Amino acid sequence: MNMAMMRLRREDPRVVGSFRLHRRLGAGGMGVVYLGSDRKGQRVALKVIRPDLAEDQEFRSRFAREVSAARRIRGGCTARLVAADLEAERPWFATQYVPGPSLHDKVAEDGPLSAAEVAAIGAALSEGLVAVHEAGVVHRDLKPSNILLSPKGPRIIDFGIAWATGASTLTHVGTAVGSPGFLAPEQVRGAAVTPATDVFSLGATLAYAATGDSPFGHGSSEVMLYRVVHEEPQLRGVPDALAPLVQACLAKDPEERPSTLELSLRLKEIAAREARADAARRRLHSPRPHPRRAGDPAGRGSPAPDGPGRTDARRRGHGTDR
């Protein structure tokens, strides 16, 4: 879902519940997402469900369960649920608005992230998923466009709503989800969805962050879904420090994937190690101070320039602070 802001259209509501709507943030298979605000000025992302889905009683009951589960999630890695109306003619829910680009847009605009950045984002997301799964929720649609890079760290959005209808046919997967390169094999087969399903999607998402591409390449939904089930992921370009862990996340058998807790611990270690290596490389390539010159007893000389290597390194270190 593209989160770039667009003007409200004529058919869009101006007020939903106690929220005034200002802009469209995007539209997906389940409905439209708006930027809104309450009377105190707190900004929210408010999703209004499509009219045809609103008339489906089974959808309404599943949607209610999803919202109820979202209320139980505790942890800083999700966009907190603010309000919802499940009885409205068109059900809706509002979460806190997260400023910052999606991981998809960040990589598309600025290129792949460094190993340290990917590991740090992955560690935070893994920790967030621990809380999500403890609440009895499986996201089911984790992908780069559902991860927002806020100044306070990554945030996961769009909880389970894309799968609220419970459909598992290829048609549904190909149309409503729209990113089959990030779905787990068991989702494609229509088998049981578990926390390990989100681990597979996280592995594919980290591969995208490190390379700028899906580990299952490009093609029609059917081609991508076939590869997810039958072919090995392409991890060329994934840094050596991350490749074995990403490979483990993308195991076809859910039982062989690491747990979110194990992922969180290992990615934290990798992030710290890679950050130290980056700092050492920066020191190695930063301009040395000028030697003492005659007539300059303090040895000050002229100030060392802030070379491009140093500036770029600093910028890389704050890739998510946008």
- 216: alpha, beta or left, given left = phi > 0 and alpha = psi -120 to 50? alpha
The Cα 162–Cα 213 span in angstroms is 22
Is residue 304 one of the residues assigned to a domain? no
Asked about 141 being catalytic, the answer comes back as: yes
Q: Are residues 257 and 147 in the same domain?
A: yes
Shared domain check, 190 and 92 = no
- Lookup: tokens for 174: 């190909």
**158/18: higher pLDDT:** 18
Query: How many residues belong to the chain?
Result: 322
pLDDT at 312: 43
> Is position 296 within any domain?
no
Would you say residue 10 lies in a domain?
Answer: no
Domain boundary among 50, 73, 96: 96
What's the pLDDT tens digit per position in 34-70?
Answer: 999 999 999 999 999 988 888 988 888 877 877 887 7
Amino acid 320: pLDDT: 38
- Whether pLDDT at 6 is above 60: yes
* Total number of domains constituting the chain: 2
What gap in Å lies between CA 188 and CA 170, rounded to an integer? 7
- List the CATH number of the domain containing 64: 3.30.200.20
Q: Which of 153, 152, 262, 158 is nearest to 203 (CA)?
A: 262
Mean local confidence (pLDDT), 204-232? 95
Q: What CATH number is given to the structural domain containing 231?
A: 1.10.510.10
Question: What integer pLDDT is reported at residue 291 of this predicted model?
Answer: 60
Give the number of other Cβ atoms within 10 Å of residue 139's Cβ: 26
- Which one is predicted more confidently, 266 or 72? 266
Query: Distance between terminal CA atoms of the chain?
Result: 19
Q: Token pair of 207, please?
A: 């591969």
208 and 108, same domain (yes or no): yes
**What is the structure's pLDDT at 253?**
97
> Model's pTM, two decimal places?
0.78
CA dihedral of residues 269, 275, 276, 281 (deg, nearest 10): 150
CA-based nearest residue to 156, from 167, 166, 141, 135: 141
Residue 175 banded pLDDT, cuts 50, 70, 90: very low
* Average model confidence (pLDDT) across the chain: 83
The answer to whether residue 280 sits within a structural domain is no
- Report CA Rg, the chain: 22
**DSSP-assigned states of every residue in 149-190:** EETTEEEE-S-SGGGTT---SHHHIIIII--GGGS-HHHHHT
Do 72 and 148 fall within a single domain?
no
Whether the pLDDT of residue 170 is over 50: the answer is no
Within a domain: 1? no
Who has greater pLDDT, 69 or 243?
A: 243
How confident is residue 227, by pLDDT bands cut at 50, 70 and 90?
very high
Q: In this structure, are 111 and 83 located in the same domain?
A: no
**Domain endpoint, select from 96, 123, 138:** 96
Residue 85: pLDDT band with limits 50, 70, 90: very high
Q: Does the residue 78 lie in any domain?
A: yes
Of 96, 125, 151, at which residue does a domain stop? 96
Q: Is residue 132 domain-shared with residue 204, that is, in the same domain?
A: yes
Higher local confidence (pLDDT), 286 or 73: 73
User: Residue for token digits 């469900």?
Assistant: 49
Please tell me which residue in 12, 105, 141, 158 is annotated as part of the active site.
141
Q: What percent of the chain has pLDDT over 90?
A: 55
127 shares its domain with 212: yes
Element (H, E) at 46: strand 43-49
- Whether residues 121 and 252 share a domain: the answer is yes
Q: Could you report the per-residue pLDDT of 261-319, keeping only the tens digit for each?
A: 999 999 999 999 999 998 998 888 877 666 655 555 554 444 444 444 444 443 444 44
Assign 200 a pLDDT band (cuts: 50, 70, 90): very high
Short-list 249, 258, 269, CA closest to 142:
249
Mean of pLDDT values over 191-215: 96
Q: Tell me which long-range contacts 304-311 makes (C-beta under 8 A, separation of at least 24).
A: 309/282, 309/285, 310/282, 310/285, 310/286
**pLDDT of residue 22 exceeding 70:** yes
**112/83 same-domain check:** no
Would residue 318 count as lying in a domain? no
Q: Which domain does 261 fall in, by range?
A: 103-268
Q: Same domain, yes or no, for 79 and 138?
A: no
Confidence at residue 167, expressed as pLDDT on a 0 to 100 scale: 38
Residue 199 counted as domain residue: yes
- Are 130 and 260 in the same domain? yes
Residues 87 and 134 in one domain: no
Vertex 143, ends 322 and 102: CA angle to 5°?
A: 15
